[in-house]
Each structure stands twice: as C-alpha cells, then as structure tokens.
A and B are shown apart, each in its own frame.
Chain A
Amino acid sequence: MSRADIPLPQPRGMAQTQRTDTWWLQPLAVFSGFMAFIVYSTWAALQGEHFFLSAGGANYLSPFYSPQLFNVPGQPPTGHAWFGDPPSWLLSLWPSFIPFSPALLILWAPGGFRFTCYYYRGAYYKAFWADPPSCAVGEPGFRGKKYRGEAKFPLIIQNIHRYFLYLAIAFIFVLSYDAIIAYKFAAADGGWTFGIGIGSLILTINPILLGGYTLGCHSLRHLIGGRKDCLGAGGAQRTAYDCVSCLNRKHMVWAWLSLFWVGFTDFYVRMCSMGYFTDVRLL
C-alpha cells in the first residue's frame, strides 16, 4: 500500500540533532588537521629555499620539492634538478609577487590525488562544508532539494581520481629514490660514502607510508581487479586485489599517517637547513 500522501519529516537545521555524544569532535579534529597541513604546506611551498640539506655531507631533499624539476635561480644547485636551470619563458611567466619555487610546479599532483581521494572527500565534505556536519546531524538549510552531490558540476570532476593515482604512483618511485640517496653522504675525499642519519630514516619512512596510502586507493583496487566479477582464486590478479583490499581497509589510517609524515619530513629538512636542528649521523 502506498502512503505517498504522508509528508516527510521536516529536515533539522544546521547542527541540530538528538545525538548526545560529542559528534562535533571528529569533524573539528579533521578540520584542524587538514587546515594545519594546508597552511604549513602552502607556506613551505612558497619559500623556494631550505628544501635541501647538504650540511654534514647529507643529501636530503624535501618531499614537497621532489621531483625537483628546475634549480632555483640565485641558489646553489642541489644536484636533483631534472632539467637544470629554469627556462626563460617560465621565469617570465612566473608571478613577480611569488618567489620561484619548484614545489609549486609539482605539488598539484599529490595534492590532487588527496583532494579527489574517496576517504578525504567524505572527511572534508563533513569537516569543511558541513555536508553533513556529522552523521544524523542537521546541515545548512540553503542546499535543501538543490543538493547536487557529485552527480553534477563541479564535484563531478572528482571522477578524475584515477588519473591522479597514476601520478601518485610515479611519485612513490621518485620519493623512494630520494630515500635511497639519503644514505649517500659526501666523503672527505670528494667521493661518496654510505651513511645513516636521522634524516635518512625519516626520508625512508615517507615513501613507505605514502605507498601504504597510495596502494590502498579505492581506484587502484578497482583497476587491479575489482572491475571484474570473476577473478578466480590464487592467481596473480587475485593476490594483487587481495593485497590492495588489505591496505584499503585501513585507508584512513594510511591517509593520515602519510599526510603527517610528508609534512614532518619537509619540516625536518627545513629545520636542519635553516640551522635550527642538527642532523645526527648514526653511521
């Protein structure tokens, strides 16, 4: 029997709920965590200096600046720049009020990956846009029936996520290379020697955490096997799908750990480069 004539309950207003728990705590923590990262990473990316540590023979490159596409004019070369000095057309296009920073040329890729990530989407829709503020909590009334979700522009663009995934996988290789050469220290005779510094360990943990996050991506899970109904048992594709699914189950944890650590790695390199920290050689 249809009861279509009975009206639906009136939606509750912003933040109205019968919930008695501290429902606001999680979105507040997410908002604070994301804002702290956004503010710090933006500031760090705009500096254009102190992203490389060579003191004490170290070879640490901040992940915010890796891959480093070009040297920074007026600064000594780090030896990491893929294409040497920036071309004149790039310098002429660069806004005069922002110092030249290689980070700004590459951070859109990992930033886009995180911005379109399924976990982050759900988290920032709640924490930043109150859509909804939390489960079973009223949201701003202005959206009402005009709600578009991810079905229409602009959020339909979130479907680009898998293309950012391809770039993010490439970044893991680059950051793994940076971690390996963080064990390569300049020797007194002008050559290179194997060594371990605190920074080497910090730079090693970074691609491990980023790998745990990136390889647990929902899009990768789909592409590697989820798109099929029949994967069979025991084959390479089934094993890969199971491994990605295993990481995917803790995607939120990997997302936060890797986010924190990539920021901390830049902070460590920056503080050492600015002379506030001294990198301790363990070996």
Chain B
Amino acid sequence: MAGQTKNTSSTGASDRAPRTFRVWRGDGQGGKFHDYSTEVGEGMVVLDAIHQIQAESAPDLACRWNCKAGKCGSCSAEINGQPRLMCMTRMDQLPPEGPVTVEPMRAFPAIRDLVTDVSHNFRAKKSIKKFSPRKPDAPDGTWRMQQADVDRVQEFRKCIECFLCQDVCHVLRDHHKHEEFVGPRLFVYTAALEMHPLDTENRLGDLKNKHGLGYCNITKCCTKVCPEHITITDNSIIPLKERVVDEFYDPLTRLFRIFKPAK
C-alpha cells in the first residue's frame, strides 16, 4: 500500500510542468491580458489552474464557479478563443505549446475579470409565454402522453444555462442585437414549451416579431459549443423557423389552416 501511494505521488509530481496562462483582467470599462505561470499536471482542468493562480499570485482574480462537474454552468469562459466551461476543459485537450488564453464571454458585459453580467438572458426569458397545458385528460387532474412525444422535448431540458451558445452566437456577440434577439438558449427554451405535447400556447408571433428568430443564420456555432450536446440548431431553431414559415410565409399552409381548428 505504501509503495502504491509513493508511486502515485511521484508520478503526479513528475508530470507537473509550468504553463503560462494569459488571463484577461479588467471590467466593463476595459482591461488587458496578464500572464501568469503555474504548474499543471495530469487530470487538471483549466478551472483548477485558475484557482491555483488565485492561490499563488492573483488572489483578487474574479471568476465564477460552483459545481466543478459541468452541471451548474457557472464557469463559462473563452479558452484559447473557444467558448467552453473551464471545469470541463482538461489541460491535455489544449495544445501543449504556447500560453493558454482565458477571457470572459464576449457577448455579455464584463463585470470583473472572468465574471460577466448574464442578466440579459433572464430578462429575455421572462418575455417568453409560459407553459399552458391543455385541460387534464383524466378526472383526477392528470394527463396522458406518449413517451416518444415527450422524448423530443426532453433533449432541451438538459440545458444547464451556461450561456456558451449565447456567447458564440454572432448576432449577440458581433451585432449586439440583445434587444431584438433572445438567442439560441432561449430558442431551446421556447422549443421545449412550443413542442410540448400538452402545451396550447402559440409563441410563433413572438418568435418572429419580438424574439428575432429570423436573425439566426444557422451557423450552428451554438450546437458546436454546447457542453450538453443539445442539437440546438437542427432540433430547436430550424423546427421553430419552419413553424414560423407555416404561420406567416407559406401561402398553402395558411390556406389549409382556414379549414383546421385552432390549437
């Protein structure tokens, strides 16, 4: 047992090597990158390194984190330019050479260092019509649904609200359409409600006129960065776009709707 402990310990020590982290420091008025050197070892993630930098050389470095397990969505940042969770980015996934850049999400105002103000997302969420179920199917106030129908929206409920999809979306990031465009996270949220087998609300008018669905030009960047691997573009945004086409642009479906009862 002692030999095993010693062996593990020595392996861990020998694997550690100094690495430079180029961390953005500043606030909403501006900032710049600062270089910090710290030792990294096997199994470490970027968040470990940031905590180590806090402990060793920058105790005032602000960063938001909570679970360290990729489930709370707090430690979103841009690592080597890619929106990622710091706690789920292993050091061995990054190029072995050169400094590792860590900066806050660029689609939101920087509060301080790596911490951003993501309150836009919560305000936008309030503008989406709430779940509105049909009348219960049974006298005891319960409903009956096919599992296959529920499975479709179950994917959307994996969202941890890390807002990496919002960060990478160029409509927010580069065009600053925050007032007119709710963003991919909230399209996923809307899809979960709009496609729910029990829901009776119609959100298509809001999607087109208030929530800026038409601004999405299907770059699929949101899907690529999602740590929960939600197929955001193909399973939520494009199906919503198609429903908006049904409702507002397709003359044939508009014609057929005359003969069909409302939802």
Q: Does B82 contact A (CB under 8 A)?
A: yes
Most buried by A among B123, B170, B216, B220: B170
Q: Contact mask A139-168 → B, CB, 8 Å, 1/0?
A: 100011101111110011001101000000
Tell me which of A12, A135, A147, A226 has the highest count of chain B C-beta atoms within 10 A of its own C-beta.
Answer: A135
Q: A131-B170, A135-B168, A145-B176 are in contact. Are A118 and B81 (CB under 8 A)?
A: no
Is there an interface contact between B217 and A121, defined as CB atoms closer than 8 Å?
A: yes
Closest to B103 in A: A18
When chains A and B are docked, how far (Å) is the Cα of A74 from the Cα of B107? 62
A contact residues around B196 at 8 Å (CB)? 229
The residue in A118, A119, A148, A249 that gathers the most chain B C-beta atoms within 10 A of its C-beta is A118
| A interface residues, tally (CB under 8 Å) | 57
Given contacts A11-B176, A118-B238, A135-B221, contact A18 B78 (CB under 8 A): yes
Chain B minimum-CB-distance residue to A231: B149
Contact check, B78 vs A159: say whether CB atoms are below 8 A apart: no
**A3 near B119: Cβ-Cβ < 8 Å:** yes
* B-contacting residues, A1-26, CB 8 Å: 1-3, 6-9, 11-12, 17-21
Q: Is the CB of A8 within 8 A of B245?
A: no
Chain A residue at minimal CB-CB distance from B107: A8
Contact B146 A139 (CB under 8 A): no
Q: Does A138 contact B (CB under 8 A)?
A: yes
Q: Assess the A7–B28 pair: CB atoms within 8 A.
A: yes
B216 touches A149 (CB 8 A): yes
Stretch of B13-21, B37-45, B108-116, B182-190 on the interface side = B108-116
| Distance A135 CA – B117 CA, assembled complex (angstroms) | 22
Give the CA-CA distance A218 to B242 in the complex, in Å: 8
B149-A135 in contact (CB<8A): no
Q: Closest B-chain residue to A20, C-beta based?
A: B80
Residues in A with CB closer than 8 Å to B147 are 233
Task: Give, as a whole number of angstroms, the nearest-CB distance from A213 to chain B.
Answer: 15
Is A95 positioned at the interface, with any CB of B under 8 Å from its CB?
A: no
Contact B111 A149 (CB under 8 A): no
Within 8 Å of chain A (Cβ to Cβ): is B6? no
List of A residues within 8 angstroms of B219 by Cβ: 122, 125-126, 131-132, 135
- Asked whether A145 lies within 8 Å of B177 as measured between CB atoms, the reply is yes
A281 at the interface (CB under 8 A from B): no
- B148–A238 contact, CB under 8 A? yes
Cα distance, A186 to B234, chains bound together (Å): 47
Q: Give the contacting residue for B218; candidates A6, A125, A156, A223; CB below 8 A.
A: A125
CB atoms of A226 and B242 under 8 A apart? yes
CA distance A173 to B218 in the complex (A): 30
Question: B136 an interface residue at 8 Å Cβ cutoff?
Answer: no
Q: What is the interface of chain B mostly: helix, strand, loop, or mixed? A: mixed
With A8-B108, A131-B170 as known contacts, state yes or no: A222 contacts B217, CB within 8 Å: no
B119–A152 CB distance below 8 A? no
| B98 close to A (CB within 8 Å) | yes
Q: Which range contains the number of B residues in contact with the other chain?
A: 35 or more
* The one of B81, B111, B195, B245 that contacts A136, using a Cβ cutoff of 8 Å: B81
Q: Is A219 positioned at the interface, with any CB of B under 8 Å from its CB?
A: yes
Once A20-B80, A149-B214, A222-B239 are accepted as A-B contacts, the answer to whether A229 and B109 lie under 8 Å apart by CB is: no
List B residues 238-257 near A (Cβ within 8 Å).
238-239, 241-243, 245-246, 249-250
A248 touches B (CB below 8 Å): yes
Q: Is B86 an interface residue, CB under 8 A from the partner?
A: no
Q: How far is the CA of A7 from the CA of B176 in the complex (A)?
A: 11
Chain B minimum-CB-distance residue to A226: B239
Could you say which residues of chain A place their CB within 8 Å of the CB of B149? Answer: 229-232
B84-140 CB contacts (< 8 Å) to partner A? 95, 98, 101, 103, 106-111, 117, 119, 123
Residues of chain B within 8 A of A232, CB atoms compared: 146, 148-149
Contact of A121 among B106, B107, B218 (CB under 8 A): B218
Given contacts A132-B221, A221-B239, A222-B243, 16 further A-B contacts (CB under 8 A): A3-B111, A8-B176, A11-B174, A18-B81, A19-B80, A20-B80, A118-B218, A136-B81, A136-B83, A139-B170, A148-B215, A156-B249, A159-B249, A159-B250, A230-B145, A233-B147
Residues of B within 8 A of A (CB): 27-29, 78, 80-83, 95, 98, 101, 103, 106-111, 117, 119, 123, 145-149, 168, 170-171, 173-178, 194-197, 199, 212-221, 224-225, 233-234, 238-239, 241-243, 245-246, 249-250
- 6 pairs of A and B residues whose beta carbons are closest in the complex: A151-B214, A18-B81, A19-B81, A6-B109, A135-B221, A6-B28
- 14 A-B contacts (beta carbon < 8 Å): A6-B109, A7-B28, A8-B107, A11-B173, A18-B78, A20-B98, A119-B218, A136-B173, A147-B177, A149-B217, A151-B213, A221-B239, A230-B145, A232-B149
